[in-house]
Amino acid sequence: MRPVLRLARRTLTAFLLALALLAVTAAHAQDKIRFATNWKAQAAHGGFYQAIADGTYKKYGLDVTLLQGGPQVNNRPLLPAGRIDFLMTGNLLHSFDNVKNGVPTIVVASLFQKDPQALIAHPNQGYENFDALKSAPLALIAKDAQFSWWQWLKVTHGFRDEALKPYNYNLGSFLANPKAIQQGYSVAEPIYVENQGRFKPVVHLLADHGFSTYSTVIEARTETVAKQPDLVQRFVDASIIGWVNYLYGDRRAAHALMRRDNPEMTDAEMEASVALMKQQGIVDSGESVTQGLGAMNPARIRDFYQQMLNAGLYQAGDVDLGRVATFQFINKKVGLDVKAQLGGR
């Protein structure tokens, strides 16, 4: 064989081996994702921790770092600034505000079909009927809530400002006054009340009385959606699978990760919270039953926005609803097969 031909063959072989190595490296490469939540680790974040703990994110080619929020942490500005890739926020009010203020973010999924925001009361005080809550002499409501869903309660259900006092996320004032009502996360505060006050509170979920927002929504930058739709799809799909496995599978590894990030949490509290999420249909109800977790409906977003207009939180023309959310990554029945295998219902 001629030397030149042998050299050419060796060069070609080396080139093909290099291509194969690059392909293998690419196949095993993990896209690094920074994902932030809106509070300290708790069961309401469980599906995201589950997707880390059981390798679901990794299976979808994602190396996810989860940054927890908290009372002194505001992760919201980090998303438009490009310091994180996805943000878990509360409900659609935050997303409406972003659009109104020209912040280039968009909702890509909603893991909660119901907002867990609730009003809680002492038992045997006449508050078993939701309508009776507006007559309570003391309503402990945080300042930010006073200027959002409390306004909706006033317009829609006749609540009064005279009873208002700020809720500082301490149960002391509520426990000391049996006639008081206070805000609470329906999958958290009732557990704390039972642990500290030794009684089961009356819980009224605002979602069951018309507060129709989606909750635990995932936001991305509009640029990411436009330029990296495959990345967004993988993150949404993996998060959905994580939530299915968290609700209906083995949660122990996820709970261990959450205890690491938030040592105040206990397994018992997190299990109690999961039970409430299932009982109240927070995560898996309505559209998610047939379309898969994360499902959203544009008609429901329009309905909620109209409620907020009626409550005076926005003026006509403030929010272009077409920029609030995209539906291209959801309503695809992702995870329904996994749920069936786990016997979820």
* DSSP 8-class letter at 130: G
What are 193-205's pLDDT values in tens digits?
A: 999 999 999 999 9
pLDDT at 169 over 90: no
Mark out the alpha helices in the chain (DSSP H runs). 3-28, 46-53, 56-59, 92-100, 143-146, 149-157, 172-176, 189-197, 222-227, 229-248, 252-261, 267-280, 288-291, 298-310, 336-341
Distance (Å, whole) CA 150 – CA 311:
9
DSSP string, 195-233: HHHSSPPEEEEGGGGT----EEEEEEEHHHHHH-HHHHH
Q: For domain 117-209, is the CATH number 3.40.190?
A: yes
pLDDT at 139 over 80: yes
At residue 125, the 3 state secondary structure works out as coil
Asked if 219 and 108 count as a contact pair (C-beta separation under 8 A), the reply is yes
pLDDT value of residue 235: 98
| Mean pLDDT confidence for 43-56 | 98
Q: Phi/psi at 126 (nearest 5 deg)?
A: 85, 10
Q: Is 228 exposed, middle or buried (0-12, 13-18, 19+ CB in 10 A)?
A: middle
Extents of the domains making up the chain: 30-113+215-341, 117-209
Alpha carbon dihedral 89, 92, 97, 103, in 10-degree steps, equals 60
pLDDT value of residue 19: 54
Q: Is the pTM of this model over 0.95?
A: no
pLDDT at 12 over 70: no
Share of the chain above pLDDT 90, in %: 88
Distance (Å, whole) CA 156 – CA 197:
31
Distance (Å, whole) CA 54 – CA 49:
9
| Residue 54, both tokens | 């059981």
pLDDT level of residue 168 (50, 70, 90 thresholds): confident
In CATH terms, the superfamily for domain 30-113+215-341 is Periplasmic binding protein-like II (3.40.190.10)
CB atoms within 10 A of CB 82: 11
Task: Name residue, tokens 């974040």.
Answer: 45
Q: Do domains 30-113+215-341 and 117-209 have the same CATH topology?
A: yes
What are 213-269's pLDDT values in tens digits?
A: 999 999 999 999 999 999 999 999 999 999 999 999 999 999 999 999 999 999 999
pLDDT value of residue 72: 82
End-to-end CA distance of the chain: 70
